[in-house]
A and B are shown apart, each in its own frame.
Chain A
Amino acid sequence: MIRIEPREAPSRWWTLGVPVASALLALLLAAIPLAFAGANIIEAYGQMAKGVFGSTFAFTEMLTRATPLIFTGLAATIAFRAKLWNIGAEGQLYLGGMAAVVVGTGMIDAPAWVLIPVILMAGAAAGAAGMAGPAYLKTRFGADEVVTTLLLNFIILIFLQMMLEGPLQDPLGMGWPQSEPIVDNGILPQLVPRMRVHAGLIFALVAAGIAHILLSKSVWGFKLRAVGENAAAALHAGIGVRRTLMGAALVSGALAGLAGVGEVAGLRGYLTTDISPGYGYTGIVVAMLAGLSPIGVVISAVFIASIFVGADTMSRAMGVSSYLADLVVALSLICVLVGGFTARYRFVRTNKGDK
């Protein structure tokens, strides 16, 4: 018989090694479908690398992709640390985008240094509001937040469609379901001339730094971890479990909302129903790959963004389906879950019958 037992403290080496090994293994496993597609594997990986590191444009594109992933990855990290399974970052992202459009398309006439913070705050508030409902239902009635946040994503998306074909529709948009553009003072500045990477990246990095400090050094983070690891003991010790969960929910939702602000005010300039190719969901993979560490989120967001951007280039150059990127992302999640398990548990051969 083989028995599974928890390891003594997993070593630092394991906690760092597992995600890296998982990511590499996922990339390696992708060679199998690549080979089936008839591609030269070496060349394919070469094209992928070129798509990320081949030029300033390639590299900044990758960072542009990484920006919303850092935000949604942080959103998942904060929530998951409290064992609050927020699967609704996708919806909260769109709520953030909507809020950006509401306040950023002419409602307020102010200089950039006023308008940009206002837009950011509105987006964060909207995202937080989107998570407040499910969190309230969970803490008050025990409703499963996985179900409520997931379903809310679809409701929000349909609501967005309604708004974009109604009150928020651009009258000059020739009937397309898109919003008016954000006014010039509300646009997040570019970081590199003529490249799409924008100040949202800086905000994302700052958010990761703040999240790291809050989680590891603040009383709030202490409570969050305590509630996540053992809510019963936290309650017994006098920690307000509901309040802590509510706080985690609001911060998580706000971070996801900021992802939407970045896409609208930094990248597109206006809101459509397709600003996110599932950043909210991919953020979960980013967070898991990062071992729920805010600093790790930055690295894993860059990795996942590289896969996406690299796979785009590869598919164009070699005629392989770009869905391969999704495959690698999915594989790395599986690898990190299995890897994380082996980091925490070990398999022990036991004598027959011993229990």
Chain B
Amino acid sequence: MSQPRVLNLNAMSKRFGSVVANDAVSIELNRGEVLALLGENGAGKTTLMNMLFGHYLPDSGSIEVADADGKMQPLTLGHPQAALEAGIGMVHQHFTLAENLTALDNILLGAESLFSWRHKRREAKKKVAAIMARTGLLAPLDEKVGQLTVGERQRVEILKALYHDARILVLDEPTAVLTPQEADTLFENIGAMTKDGLSVIFISHKLREVLAFSQRIVVLRHGKKVGEIATDDADQQVIARMMVGEDTPAIPREMLKPGAPVLALKSLTVKGRSARTSLHAADLLIRAHEVVGIAGVSGNGQTALARVISGLEAPDGGEMWVGDTRILRFTPPVMQEAGIGRIPEDRHHDGVIGEMSVAENLVIERLGDPLVQNHGFLRQKEILTHAEELSRTYDIRGPGIEAEARLLSGGNIQKLILARVFEGQPQFILANQPTRGLDMGAAGEVARRLLEARTRGAGVLLISEDLDEILALSDRVMVIHDGRLSAAPDKDRAKIGLMMAGEPV
């Protein structure tokens, strides 16, 4: 560790509304070092890096970056341009390339003035070629980016950062989109780059690559730095435990005997275009009085599972049973009819219609109900009374039931959805990321309502990235990885953490 320091992040904090994304996180980085930033989704990794790159302005904290001579200089916060000039390059998870320009043009974009482009092209190409030779990052420079593979596009992004003389390179989940072979090549290239003195921070939640390719590991959880360890001293168990934590907030739950099956999936298969939207022969049984938690890193098939159960997508194979009835048509009304309550993952996108009133959103799932309509006309008075009752029972706060739903806070939007779902006394509830982005109070309310439904006799399927939440609420835990569901042997954090990362237990 005799290498000089190149970057200090000092006590960086950032809140979004009532959610603390980063709580006084400090990180150091040395020259030529590969630092892995590890954590579950929503742990605050990307927020931290976005502050480093100037996309977000931190609420407090400061950043120092070594200049070309190695002296530490404070970085102007909140200015991507300043970060670029200080030699920080960032490769986002979602590439920011212009598809109909060539790879070379994309690399030059932003570096050269538009008018002097043509003259410097040859020199520029020479410089890029030199970087490619040195690092082994090969990309066809004269092809349009739209024609390149994902791996090539990523190399173009990295080349772009290096061309801009980055001394610190931030890679946000660089292997998420790569095949294992491409990922290995990438890390070889990174190795070559660090020999040149480049320092790398890479964000990941894959334990194996973190152990194989980093020198130091920093673990974030719930926005806090919870661990830092030299990679040589770490093994999978240690990091998995750091990632998922050991404290279980106790939520009082009664012991209840599981009743009759309310939902059964039998080798349900969805052939999606990606892992995110695929499901391989999933078997799942949920009984009355039972909460089953699905743990997993997002993008491993949870979306496909939820879409089928919500009636938004028909599976390619397998069966779905609700109680004694086999579901043959997969549409939202069929699922509602079958007594499934659905709490969607993206509450703003799928849960409410922001431009319509709170009262209207509360009745949107029961427009056929004679309480809501009479011969095709809305019973306005009854709808308002109904909304008043529900917003009192579920404590929906905001500018009023006739105000547009978009004016409610995230927590109150979720309460609105809860009110709508639980009012129908569903026998089965799909709760997909029900507390994501909510503050403690609202999250506790969601948990309480779910357990209440369990006591009443409903079965609950809880999909969440928050392992604490899953362990606190679930009677049984299943892990989803790469579109496959498997039962976790017991509620053992370290084992579940390993299964989430796709490692054999």
Residue of B nearest to A230 (CB): B353
A348 close to B (CB within 8 Å):
no
Note all chain A residues with C-beta closer than 8 A to B377: 217-219
CB of A153 to closest CB in B, whole Å:
30
Note all chain A residues with C-beta closer than 8 A to B360: 222, 226
A198 close to B (CB within 8 Å):
no
A318 close to B (CB within 8 Å):
no
Of A222, A233, A355, the contact of B367 (CB 8 Å cutoff):
A222
Of B312, B373, B376, B404, the contact of A235 (CB 8 Å cutoff):
B312
Among A243-300, those with CB < 8 Å from B are none
Note all chain A residues with C-beta closer than 8 A to B378: 217-219, 222
CB of B37 to closest CB in A, whole Å:
21
Of B57, B354, B355, the contact of A353 (CB 8 Å cutoff):
B57
Q: Which of B77, B344, B360, B377 lies at the interface centre, i.e. has the most chain A CB atoms within 10 A of its CB?
A: B377
Among B124-173, those with CB < 8 Å from A are none
A232 close to B (CB within 8 Å):
yes
With A and B bound together, what is the CA distance between A219 and B365 in angstroms? 12
Against A, the Cβ 8 Å flags (1 = close, 0 = not) of B53-65 are: 0111100000000
Tell me the count of chain B residues lying within 8 A, CB to CB, of chain A: 39
A239 close to B (CB within 8 Å):
yes
B336 close to A (CB within 8 Å):
yes
A354 close to B (CB within 8 Å):
yes
Of B76, B78, B355, the contact of A355 (CB 8 Å cutoff):
B78
Query: Contact at B57–A354, with CB atoms within 8 Å?
Result: yes
A237 close to B (CB within 8 Å):
yes
With A and B bound together, what is the CA distance between A325 and B57 in angstroms? 51
Note all chain B residues with C-beta closer than 8 A to A236: 310, 312, 332, 342, 344, 350-351
Note all chain B residues with C-beta closer than 8 A to A235: 312, 332
With A and B bound together, what is the CA distance between A354 and B76 in angstroms? 12
CB of B311 to closest CB in A, whole Å:
8
Note all chain B residues with C-beta closer than 8 A to A226: 353, 356, 360, 364
With A and B bound together, what is the CA distance between A237 and B335 in angstroms? 10
Note all chain B residues with C-beta closer than 8 A to A196: none
A175 close to B (CB within 8 Å):
no
Query: Contact at B350–A9, with CB atoms within 8 Å?
Result: no
Residue of B nearest to A354 (CB): B57
Among B341-390, those with CB < 8 Å from A are 342, 344, 349-356, 360, 364-365, 367, 372-373, 376-378, 380
A238 close to B (CB within 8 Å):
yes
Query: Contact at B399–A9, with CB atoms within 8 Å?
Result: yes
CB of A10 to closest CB in B, whole Å:
10
With A and B bound together, what is the CA distance between A232 and B377 in angstroms? 24
Against B, the Cβ 8 Å flags (1 = close, 0 = not) of A202-223 are: 0000000000000001111011
Note all chain A residues with C-beta closer than 8 A to B197: none
DSSP class of B's interface residues: helix, strand, loop or mixed? loop
Question: Given A9-B407, A226-B356, does the pair A233, B350 have CB atoms closer than 8 Å?
Answer: yes
Note all chain B residues with C-beta closer than 8 A to A238: 311, 331-333, 336, 365
With A and B bound together, what is the CA distance between A355 and B77 in angstroms? 11
CB of A331 to closest CB in B, whole Å:
28
Of B336, B349, B376, the contact of A232 (CB 8 Å cutoff):
B349
Note all chain A residues with C-beta closer than 8 A to B367: 219, 222-223, 239
Note all chain A residues with C-beta closer than 8 A to B352: 230, 233
B284 close to A (CB within 8 Å):
no
With A and B bound together, what is the CA distance between A234 and B399 in angstroms? 23
With A and B bound together, what is the CA distance between A38 and B54 in angstroms? 56
With A and B bound together, what is the CA distance between A353 and B312 in angstroms? 41
Question: Given A219-B378, A229-B356, A238-B365, does the pair A354, B78 have CB atoms closer than 8 Å?
Answer: yes
Of A8, A218, A223, A229, the contact of B354 (CB 8 Å cutoff):
A229
Note all chain B residues with C-beta closer than 8 A to A220: 376
Query: Contact at A232–B350, with CB atoms within 8 Å?
Result: yes
Note all chain A residues with C-beta closer than 8 A to B354: 229-230
A65 close to B (CB within 8 Å):
no
Question: Given A217-B377, A236-B342, does the pair A230, B355 have CB atoms closer than 8 Å?
Answer: yes
Note all chain B residues with C-beta closer than 8 A to A223: 367
With A and B bound together, what is the CA distance between A336 and B54 in angstroms? 37
Note all chain A residues with C-beta closer than 8 A to B448: none
B192 close to A (CB within 8 Å):
no
B84 close to A (CB within 8 Å):
no
CB of B442 to closest CB in A, whole Å:
20
Note all chain A residues with C-beta closer than 8 A to B436: none
B79 close to A (CB within 8 Å):
yes
B403 close to A (CB within 8 Å):
yes
Note all chain A residues with C-beta closer than 8 A to B77: 353
Against B, the Cβ 8 Å flags (1 = close, 0 = not) of A340-355 are: 0000000000001111
CB of B227 to closest CB in A, whole Å:
30
Note all chain B residues with C-beta closer than 8 A to A353: 54, 57, 76-79
Offer 24 A-B interface pairs, CB within 8 angstroms, sorted by A: A8-B399, A9-B399, A9-B407, A218-B376, A218-B377, A218-B378, A219-B376, A225-B355, A229-B353, A230-B349, A230-B354, A230-B355, A232-B349, A233-B349, A233-B350, A233-B352, A235-B312, A236-B342, A236-B351, A237-B332, A237-B365, A238-B365, A239-B367, A353-B77
In the complex, besides A237-B332, A353-B76, 16 extra interface pairs with C-beta distance below 8 angstroms are: A218-B377, A218-B378, A220-B376, A225-B353, A229-B353, A230-B352, A232-B349, A232-B350, A233-B352, A235-B312, A235-B332, A236-B310, A236-B312, A236-B332, A237-B364, A352-B78
Residues of A with Cβ closer than 8 Å to B?
8-9, 217-220, 222-223, 225-226, 229-230, 232-240, 352-355
Residues of B with Cβ closer than 8 Å to A?
54-57, 76-79, 310-312, 331-333, 336, 342, 344, 349-356, 360, 364-365, 367, 372-373, 376-378, 380, 399, 403-404, 407
5 closest A-B pairs by CB = A353-B78, A238-B332, A229-B355, A238-B333, A230-B353
